[in-house]
Amino acid sequence: MTNTFPKHFLWGASISAHQTEGAYQSDGKGLSVQDTRQRDNHDITDFTVAVDHYHHYKEDIRLLAEMGIKVFRFSIAWTRIFPNGRGEINQKGLQHYNDVIDELLKYGIQPYITLNHFDLPQALEDEGGWSARTTVEAFKHYAETVFEAYGDRAKHWLTINEPNIMLLVDKKILGKEIPLQEKYQQFHHLMIAEKYAFKRCHELIEGGKIGPVPNISLVYPATSKPLDNQAALYFNSIRNWAYLDFSCFGRYNTVFKDYLNRNNVTITIAPEDKELMENHFPDFVAMNFYTTVTVEKPTKKDGMANGISDQQSEDIMEWGFYKGFTNPYLKKNEFNWTIDPDGLKTTLQTLYDRYHLPIIITENGLGAKDELTADGKIHDTYRINYLKQHIDQCLQAIEAGVDLIGYSPWSAIDLVSVHEGISKRYGFIYVDRTEQDEKDLARYRKDSFYWYQELIKTNQLPS
């Protein structure tokens, strides 16, 4: 067993636009659903300033170059390019990502760009959002615009971040619940929008490569009871394979179709969809992974309402299909997310065997409450341990034959978590601010920064 990674392994680091950039109305930017979303907890910060990456991008990229990354995964804020989702291009917004890309290339860092990461333009949301077919057309035009603007230099693209989690955890991510019928019509539109992105990326960018970016976690049965296994089959399909089967095989899988039928969901499919579904495919799969999920078959209606409130814990249930179960063999982090490095290897193997496409991990990491010491240090040993365990499983997956081409953890710098604010930090770089006080937003290298730097330099996991 070696502890060395393949020579050209793509070490990276990831962020999204709305969780880092701030400057939410600067230089002509329009509002997105993340700027307007209703929050349960008003004590945590919103995304108006975030970590002001919009103004600090040069400093941030310089630090990331110092850390040695080969790949930077970030997203474009659609509302910087088209403030209302479509219409006239906002040149200042277009220029901003030109500058970001050039800055990355200056250091030899390859951009991996997510077209959309949870921040649909509010103007499109007002017209029905992903429930409306017209959003697919607007997305297609937006994607074509950025492919044409940046495709001479940016060759790697990711489509829409975690459509599976966005739909399953709608309340938490979008601030509202979407009825089931509408949710799965949105599924179809999101997946068709993605197909257009595959098609147009290949047509417009010479040497362009593109992949879907779902959150994939294997679902375990709580026991060896046949019905628990059936619950895992359904939830694996609803959570994971429905999305990737659409992207990679161009079809609805049968378990998912049965789930839709049993819920009386009917999807409207446009005449042009068949051609798109069956002819346009990704070059690789980008995968986000934090934990695995364990489910049992719900046997009695025990007062728990149908629904999913937290995708990373056992707080999930759909009557007749599956119910979350606390896996007694796994530990949890301080935010109640289970930790399962072995599950990462199994997830990678299962995914690779199913699709036979190269895989890059575009999110994995530990959210924790870090402490800045008086002498400007952050001793995040817990994060190093988490990363070490998961990276070790990546190595084992490669040894087992998985074509894993890169690892780009969450997150490059501290950012505002989806619903826990800035107190839940993920970055290699600490940003000095609190929920209520923006302070000076100064950047500090954490211990994990130096650890990751050494790992990239040697291309080896320290033994």
Look up residue 328 and give its amino acid: P
Query: Rounded to the nearest whole angstrom, what is the least distance from the CB of residue 368 to ligand BGP in the complex?
Result: 10
Look up residue 261 and give its amino acid: N
Judged by DSSP in three states, 247 sits in: helix
Among the residues of 407-459, which ranges form H helices?
447-458
Q: Of the two residues 90 and 288, which places its CB atom closer to ligand BGP in the complex?
A: 288
Q: Chain centroid to CA 129: how far? A: 20
Known catalytic membership, residue 148: no
Q: Which of 16, 75, 114, 292 binds ligand BGP (CB under 6 A)?
A: 16
340 binds ligand BGP (CB under 6 A): no
Task: Respond yes or no on whether the N-terminal peptide bond of residue 448 is cis (omega within 30° of 0).
Answer: no
Place of tokens 């839709």: 260
Known catalytic membership, residue 363: yes
Angstrom CA distances, 352 to 153, 177, 209, 355, 424, stand at 29, 33, 18, 5, 31
Taking the C-alpha atoms of residue 369 and residue 437, their distance in angstroms, rounded to an integer, is: 16
Q: Packing angle between helix 341-355 and helix 381-399, nearest 10 degrees?
A: 40
Q: Of the two residues 296 and 363, which places its CB atom closer to ligand BGP in the complex?
A: 363
Q: Which of 161, 291, 338, 408 binds ligand BGP (CB under 6 A)?
A: 161
Q: Of the two residues 166 and 276, which places its CB atom closer to ligand BGP in the complex?
A: 166
Cα-based angle 356, 359, 365 (whole degrees, multiple of 5): 145
Query: Rounded to the nearest whole angstrom, what is the least distance from the CB of residue 4 to ligand BGP in the complex?
Result: 29
Query: Rounded to the nearest whole angstrom, what is the least distance from the CB of residue 343 to ligand BGP in the complex?
Result: 16
Q: By C-alpha distance, which of 288, 164, 333 is closest to 236?
A: 164
Contact segment (CB under 6 A) with ligand BGP among 120-128, 187-195, 248-256, 415-423 equals 415-423
- Catalytic residue chosen out of the listed positions 21, 103, 125, 162: 162
Q: Which of 280, 424, 425, 443 binds ligand BGP (CB under 6 A)?
A: 424
- Within residues 265-324, the interface with ligand BGP by CB under 6 A covers 288
Look up residue 331 and give its amino acid: K
- Within residues 122-151, the interface with ligand BGP by CB under 6 A covers none
The burial of 432, by beta-carbon neighbours within 10 Å (0-12 exposed, 13-18 middle, 19 or more buried), is given as middle
Q: Of the two residues 169 and 222, which places its CB atom closer to ligand BGP in the complex?
A: 169
Q: CB nearest ligand BGP: which residue?
A: 417
Taking the C-alpha atoms of residue 115 and residue 193, their distance in angstroms, rounded to an integer, is: 11
Query: Rounded to the nearest whole angstrom, what is the least distance from the CB of residue 443 to ligand BGP in the complex?
Result: 20
Structural Rg of the chain based on CA atoms: 21
Q: Of the two residues 32 and 215, which places its CB atom closer to ligand BGP in the complex?
A: 215
Taking the C-alpha atoms of residue 415 and residue 51, their distance in angstroms, rounded to an integer, is: 6
How many CA atoms are closer than 13 Å to the CA of 194, on its beta-carbon side? 33
Q: Which of 418, 432, 456, 461 binds ligand BGP (CB under 6 A)?
A: 418
Among the residues of 267-409, which ranges form H helices?
273-279, 341-355, 381-399
Contact segment (CB under 6 A) with ligand BGP among 32-40, 65-73, 375-383, 416-424 equals 416-424
190 binds ligand BGP (CB under 6 A): no
Contact segment (CB under 6 A) with ligand BGP among 52-60, 239-247, 353-361, 414-422 equals 414-422
Contact segment (CB under 6 A) with ligand BGP among 28-36, 157-165, 179-187, 201-209 equals 157-165
Binding residues for ligand BGP, rule CB under 6 A, total 15
Per-residue contact string for residues 357-376; x = within reach of ligand BGP by CB under 6 A: ------x---x---------
Report the first-to-last Cα separation within the chain, whole angstroms.
12
β-pairing, 285-288 vs 316-318, is unpaired
387 binds ligand BGP (CB under 6 A): no
Taking the C-alpha atoms of residue 110 and residue 175, their distance in angstroms, rounded to an integer, is: 33
Q: Of the two residues 90 and 217, which places its CB atom closer to ligand BGP in the complex?
A: 217
Contact segment (CB under 6 A) with ligand BGP among 95-103, 159-167, 262-270, 314-322 equals 159-167
- Catalytic residue chosen out of the listed positions 194, 318, 363, 438: 363
Taking the C-alpha atoms of residue 161 and residue 215, their distance in angstroms, rounded to an integer, is: 8
Q: By C-alpha distance, which of 268, 272, 288 is closest to 280?
A: 272
Q: Which of 114, 164, 185, 215 binds ligand BGP (CB under 6 A)?
A: 215
Look up residue 347 and give its amino acid: T
Contact segment (CB under 6 A) with ligand BGP among 143-151, 223-231, 391-399, 418-426 equals 418-426
Interacting residue ranges for ligand BGP, rule: CB under 6 A: 16, 19, 161-162, 165, 215, 288, 363, 367, 410, 417-420, 424
Annotated active-site positions, please? 162, 363
